[in-house]
Structure 1
Amino acid sequence: MKKSIALFAGVTAVSVAALAATPALARPMTPEDVSRLADVGGIAVSPDGARIAFGRGQLPDILSGAENGSTDTRLHVATAAMAAQDFLPEGMDVSGIRFSPDGRMISFLWKPEGEDDAHTALYGIPVAGGGHRRLAGIEGADIRSYEWAPDGRTVYAIAAAATDPRREAESEAGFNAVIYEEEQRFNRLFAVTPGSEAEPRALAIEGHVTELRVAPDGDWLALRWAPTTRVDDSFTSQRVVIVDADDGAIRTTVETPGKIDDFEISPDGSTLSLIAAVDRHDPAPTTLHMVNPVTGTFTAVNAGAAEAVVDTEWLADGRLATIFHVGAQSELRFYDASGTVTATVDPGALILRRIEAAGDRLAAVADAPTHANELFLFDGGGFARWTTLNPWLADIDMGEQRTMTYRSRDGHTVEGIVIEPVGGAPSGGAPAILTVHGGPEAHYSNGWLTRYSMAGQVGAGRGYAVFYPNYRGSTAYGTDFSKLHQGDYAGGEFNDLVDGIQALGAEGLVDLDRVGITGGSYGGYATAWGATALTEHFAAAVMFVGISNQISKFGTGDIPNEMYLVHSRAWPWEDWQAMLEVSPIFHAGQARTPILILHGEDDTRVDPGQSYELYNALRIRTETPVRLVLYPGEGHGNQQAAARYDYNVRLMRWMDHYLTGPGGEPPAPRIALPEGTVGTAASE
């Protein structure tokens, strides 16, 4: 039975219900709106609970002439609801926001612009006023993450590998050959004294360290560790190791068998909470474990439950606050140190993403169907909203968003999320955009679903029903469900997609003759499969960084072992023909679905060759409209503002052209930029 609790009193806040009641009936959402969305990123609560620091992330406004770039994160500090202030000079893009243990300073990582030899270092700014100053740095290397020791006299920092002057000189002379996977450059661990000129003290760690926590007594550290720098090992071989805070000597290793995620140390240091997989074939770390940091022994708390733990945070009274995603919704759950549930809180329409606690306050980052990530404060019984970073969303006429379930053809219950067209579907059903998540060890929550790669409310404003299925293989429904896709590439998992669309057609929401499919990574694989093997079901497709050949994918990506362990459960050479037949290129000759293929030129997860293979197979074997668009400098997902906007415009334009427009030959190769954008004339 769910119980509400009252722990954090005296909170001044604006209720979520009051904000949700704001009317919004002005205009449809546009790609230009998507490009200017702001988000709450990392958060930190001051030791006395009086302040919450957070990062406000937003892309540069390239449509108004700003220089292209990735997300800028500005430091803000809130002392009450709707009372946040910018805390640093304009243009400072920061990360790693923390409070010093005495609460008198906010620390952050920053790299000064305009200095050729500058590196990311640790900076701080007093909360009582004054300018920022450099606290510590590692000569010739970036600090990548850090944590304060409880006494405030030491900061433990993870820094990049040291530069090699000889190697740099060779590279400048033209000898810049890269030896694949044989020149590992491990991160390094240091103890530094903030504000001091003392040399950082190196802690010798054999292996690659990417994250750390400091014990309450400062005697030991918990590290996220992998034996190599290989991406594959970051998925399959990461472990938590407990090391001596003085010299880095490993005391114990927590030998969980598969992937790991968030880990936190209890206030008395007796317990480590760890989100981890239950075995080496578990697709994702979604199970809560309680760990003895002395012996390394661990116990799974919620193994087998149809849910996924997302984030954890110990409270001062020794209880563990935990975010769970249960299907498409979320909840906050409290445990004691033994792993016994003491209370559960239903956040209503909010999808909780992250939590942080200090003093008597628990803060959260959460989104909802009507807004992107915002800052919330838990007030004992629910969540009070503390920020509104995108007030203009109140002027958007949004489509109704809801969850739905349906039965797959082989009897499984599958959940999905639907955004209905603004104003409702016409007689005969609306055109639809099926949006497939990657992984497939991921899931959609019933929160904010409008991003550069997802039509969301932009689609709803143009009359589309937008459908987000959590097909088999998805997380948040238990490990058994997330394993259902294994050893069955493109089988039941992709049949679930068609079955979902058919269910929406049966209820009259969707016109089954006007369905588009889109997705990235594994969702790109589903899109390519929909456009080839399942072409009769889809009238348009937009594939992003997707897989077209499961044989060559093994040899050209950076996670072949992860693919084997949690996806295929077989190597290509065990049955070449079977692996070929679950590849979209094998079915390209029957494709009748116009497909737009998008890919980052620097993608190492799914090599751009996967897109070239499908493009050429379709171009040579069929008359089906196909276009390949490459994004220079982008990897497995676009980061730059221009590339994101370009993607969103192309996605909607392709769907409009083939689902509601004239069809036939593809639209013009270049997109038309809004008036006033740099380069507008050249785009016409």
Structure 2
Amino acid sequence: MKTQLLAGATLIAIVASASANARPMTPEDILKIKHVTDIAVSSKGNGIAVGVSQMPDIADGAKNGTSERNLRVAFAAGNMRDFLPDDMNISGIEYSPDGRLISFLWKPEGDDEKRGLYAIPVDGGGHRKLASIEDSNITGYVWGPDSQTVYLMAAAATDKARKKESKAGFNARIYEEEQKFKRLFAVDINAGDDAEPREIGFKGEPSAMRVSQDGRWLAVAAAPTTQVDDSLTSTRVHIVDAATGALKTIVKTPGKIGDFEFDRTGKTLSLIAGVDKHDPAATTLYLVDASNGAFRPVTEGQANAAVDTEWMADGRLAVAMHVGAQSELRFYDRTGRLSSTINPGGLILRNLETSGGRLAVIADAPKHPRELFVLNGRNFVRWSNHNDWLKDIDMGTQRTIRYAARDGQQVEGIVIEPVGGAPNGGAPTIFRVHGGPEAHDSNGWLTSYGAPGQVGAGAGYTLFYPNYRGSTAYGTAFSKQHQNDYAGKEFNDLVDAIGALEAEGLTRKDKVGITGGSYGGYASAWGATALSEHFAASVMFVGISNQISKFGTTDIPNEMYLVHSRKWPWENWQGMLDVSPIYHVDKAKTPILILHGENDTRVAPSQSYELYRNIKVRTDTPVRLVLYPGEGHGNRKAAAQYDYNIRMMRWMDTYLKGDGGEMPAPRFDLPQGFSGASEAKTED
């Protein structure tokens, strides 16, 4: 099977030499990684505010918890300083339009404290509260152009009577019937400490806001209900009067929506949206007439995915575009005509922000996580380096390959070779299958708690990240190829990749493992059952095992119908059973580790129970089920992430590096220094 090496020229520019003391990456290293998650650009040109996120350092005794975000300000390349104490975990970083303040959302310590809007002066001084809502947390905000009015989005008001009843034990929840909408407010931050935010009448569940340059209009993304299903399939942009909330128009795009931005005149919106209700993802760029909601496509039918947009001061629209596994920066004029394209030289562009003529970008690459870059002419200059220690990590070579599937379809994926290269005959290989499947892996930083990446490469594995059918960034037609074909061509693409990697000398076809979460978990379950002959190990995370019961237990049944199955289970009960891993347990010879968050509402933990019980009762195949209390559709806390990574790698080591046999011990020793490691064991 012929493969093609892609993007080699751009990789040369970003490969850095490892230090003489280079060592492999470890699971403990993943906890140390810092990511730039937010950027805001000063209109005065005197700084870029940066949110830097990191997990608690439980390896050094820190209290277990979720990621923490700190505020830093960059003044030039390599010139950055902290702006708040380290113990302030903040979000929602913005500059006031006049550039005097950096604002952020913060919840002080204390049970009764709510998340409020705070700010710190750029020119010096301590932070202060700008606004709060007495009975709920502020969840989002936008500045008015006068730098005086701030528009707030807040959680629903606390029902004090219900809270009292709940404390008395009457805490029953009425499923999907007691929706309480978020609320919109406006506040004058110069009106003094006693100024009360003024509620803006709005009906619906808002999720994002933008304000026009003249301050007259708010563009509000909102769903008709609070249900997750509607947030995905029915969210639309509403143009409303900023003072009264009176509806001007609704942008009635037929499918999912993504980023949207007012231009400098307030007459046009850029909008990333789906082309129809069956489009798996919002990837097409539109221009919208803000006066009447009329919209027209700019990139419909193109083999790419628009990711983020920003209007420049000169009227051009900057768009971060993902094209397959790579990315580029595009500029369009006001009419939607493409005016120029910039190749970022191997960077994967994620988010754009602009002000005062400066364009800042969050971007990553194969050798580093997300950092701050600034566009200078046609070049991106790196302004931050939060993981300098990575220079001491010996990394495997990473590249994009393309191969032909059995029906001739061209498919891409990203390969990370073992450190030092694959031995003769190939290396044991781990397929890491992304979820969605309306997503894609880019040829950037690919190491996290659920993605072996450079940890796997350092342990001698070839890693493969397939952008199988259903993936985005290859055009809507490609992303729709998986529809009405659960576990069909989409998962055949995975099997066909094995031969392609073997032909490259990268893979031992008898030592291939598969892992992934959500839809990637479905692929991992399918690989361990229906496709068991092809995979020697499987690690399934929050995955699907029964397409019939999944419909009745998920919070996105309509989304499943519209963009995945294209039919309801009762239209073909047997067909849905045929594409369920539990139906193929008789073929299951692949040792499978099943991991699931106990509070998952997207893919219920019962999906993992079903697969575990069927394999346990019907076969002698090694199987283990691990549940994470308090976690949902993905592990958020540091200890659960570390536990996941260790278990995944131990499972792969057991069944891909040797002849297999007994499962790894259910408990493992924690390294010295980890919080709660006094007994040196974790709970299974």
Asked whether the two chains share a fold, i.e. TM above 0.5, the reply is yes
- What residue identity is the alignment partner of 1:41? T
Moved more, 653-662 or 183-192: 653-662
Cα distance in 1 for partners of 2:607, 2:620 equals 20
8 Å CA contact 1:618–1:626 kept in 2: the answer is: yes
Match of 2:111 in 1: 116
Cα distance in 1 for partners of 2:503, 2:274 equals 38
Match of 1:128 in 2: 123
8 Å CA contact 1:432–1:510 kept in 2: the answer is: yes
Number of residue pairs aligned between Structure 1 and Structure 2 = 668
Match of 2:620 in 1: 623
Residue 298 of structure 2 corresponds to residue 318 of structure 1: no
How do residues 352-371 of structure 1 correspond to structure 2 at under 5 angstroms? 352-371=349-368
Cα distance in 1 for partners of 2:104, 2:569 equals 46
Cα distance in 2 for partners of 1:117, 1:323 equals 41
Match of 1:51 in 2: 47
Structure 1 residues 320-356: Cα deviation after superposition (integer angstroms, max 9, x where no partner): 0000000000000001111011110000110000010
Long gaps (5+) in structure 1: 1-15
Match of 1:205 in 2: 202
Residue 88 of structure 2 corresponds to residue 103 of structure 1: no
Structure 1 residues 616-643: Cα deviation after superposition (integer angstroms, max 9, x where no partner): 0000000000000000000000000000
Match of 1:8 in 2: none
Choose which of 75, 88, 110 in structure 2 pairs with 1:79: 75
- Residues 86 and 32 (structure 1 numbering): CA distance in 2 closer, same or farther, change over 3 Å? same
Structure 1 residues 516-561: Cα deviation after superposition (integer angstroms, max 9, x where no partner): 0000000000000000000000110000000000000000000000
> SS in structure 2 opposite 1:366?
strand
Cα distance in 2 for partners of 1:532, 1:538 equals 9
Cα offset, 1:661, TM superposition: 3.3
> SS in structure 2 opposite 1:680?
coil
8 Å CA contact 2:271–2:285 kept in 1: the answer is: yes
8 Å CA contact 2:18–2:394 kept in 1: the answer is: no
Cα distance in 1 for partners of 2:345, 2:285 equals 23
Cα offset, 1:598, TM superposition: 0.3
Cα distance in 1 for partners of 2:65, 2:180 equals 27
Choose which of 381, 391, 402 in structure 1 pairs with 2:399: 402
Choose which of 26, 31, 49 in structure 2 pairs with 1:35: 31
Match of 2:671 in 1: 674
Cα distance in 2 for partners of 1:159, 1:556 equals 29
Cα distance in 1 for partners of 2:117, 2:574 equals 54
Cα distance in 2 for partners of 1:325, 1:463 equals 30
Residue 153 of structure 2 corresponds to residue 158 of structure 1: yes
Match of 1:521 in 2: 518
Cα distance in 2 for partners of 1:21, 1:507 equals 24
Match of 1:145 in 2: 140
Cα offset, 1:21, TM superposition: 3.9
- Residues 457 and 593 (structure 1 numbering): CA distance in 2 closer, same or farther, change over 3 Å? same
8 Å CA contact 2:366–2:443 kept in 1: the answer is: yes
8 Å CA contact 2:72–2:80 kept in 1: the answer is: yes
Match of 2:463 in 1: 466
Cα distance in 1 for partners of 2:531, 2:237 equals 43
8 Å CA contact 2:537–2:592 kept in 1: the answer is: yes
How do residues 184-583 of structure 1 correspond to structure 2 at under 5 angstroms? 184-195=179-190, 196=192, 197-583=194-580
Match of 2:90 in 1: 94
Cα offset, 1:24, TM superposition: 3.9
Cα distance in 2 for partners of 1:21, 1:521 equals 34
Match of 2:5 in 1: none
> SS in structure 1 opposite 2:76?
coil
Cα distance in 2 for partners of 1:116, 1:530 equals 46
Match of 1:599 in 2: 596
Moved more, 468-477 or 168-177: 168-177
Cα offset, 1:671, TM superposition: 2.2
Match of 1:4 in 2: none
Cα distance in 1 for partners of 2:485, 2:551 equals 16
Match of 2:166 in 1: 171
Match of 2:61 in 1: 65
- Residues 22 and 387 (structure 1 numbering): CA distance in 2 closer, same or farther, change over 3 Å? farther
For the aligned residues, what is the CA RMSD?
1.1
TM-score (norm 1): 0.97
Cα distance in 1 for partners of 2:161, 2:675 equals 42
> SS in structure 1 opposite 2:577?
helix
Cα distance in 1 for partners of 2:228, 2:494 equals 30
Cα offset, 1:496, TM superposition: 0.2
Cα offset, 1:206, TM superposition: 1.1
Cα offset, 1:20, TM superposition: 4.7
Cα offset, 1:18, TM superposition: 8.6
Cα offset, 1:207, TM superposition: 0.9
Residue 645 of structure 2 corresponds to residue 645 of structure 1: no
Cα distance in 2 for partners of 1:423, 1:230 equals 49
> SS in structure 2 opposite 1:367?
strand
Cα distance in 2 for partners of 1:19, 1:627 equals 41
Cα distance in 2 for partners of 1:396, 1:270 equals 50
Structure 1 residues 391-427: Cα deviation after superposition (integer angstroms, max 9, x where no partner): 0100111110010001111110000100011111111
Cα offset, 1:514, TM superposition: 0.4
Q: Percent identity?
A: 65
Cα offset, 1:165, TM superposition: 1.1
- Residues 20 and 81 (structure 1 numbering): CA distance in 2 closer, same or farther, change over 3 Å? farther
Cα distance in 2 for partners of 1:90, 1:346 equals 36
Structure 1 residues 457-486: Cα deviation after superposition (integer angstroms, max 9, x where no partner): 111111100000100000000000000000
> SS in structure 2 opposite 1:661?
coil
Cα offset, 1:170, TM superposition: 1.1
> SS in structure 2 opposite 1:682?
coil
Structure 1 residues 193-218: Cα deviation after superposition (integer angstroms, max 9, x where no partner): 11522211111111111110011000
Cα offset, 1:90, TM superposition: 2.1
> SS in structure 2 opposite 1:451?
coil
Cα distance in 2 for partners of 1:582, 1:503 equals 25
Cα offset, 1:19, TM superposition: 7.5
TM-score (norm 2): 0.97
Cα offset, 1:508, TM superposition: 1.8
Cα distance in 2 for partners of 1:19, 1:326 equals 19
Cα offset, 1:681, TM superposition: 4.3
> SS in structure 1 opposite 2:639?
helix
Match of 1:13 in 2: none
8 Å CA contact 2:278–2:563 kept in 1: the answer is: yes
Cα distance in 1 for partners of 2:226, 2:13 equals 49
8 Å CA contact 1:589–1:617 kept in 2: the answer is: no
- What residue identity is the alignment partner of 2:235? Q
8 Å CA contact 1:646–1:671 kept in 2: the answer is: no
Cα offset, 1:662, TM superposition: 4.9
Cα distance in 2 for partners of 1:672, 1:75 equals 35
Cα distance in 1 for partners of 2:99, 2:14 equals 31
8 Å CA contact 1:371–1:393 kept in 2: the answer is: yes
Cα distance in 1 for partners of 2:335, 2:610 equals 53
Cα offset, 1:268, TM superposition: 1.1
Cα distance in 2 for partners of 1:673, 1:226 equals 45
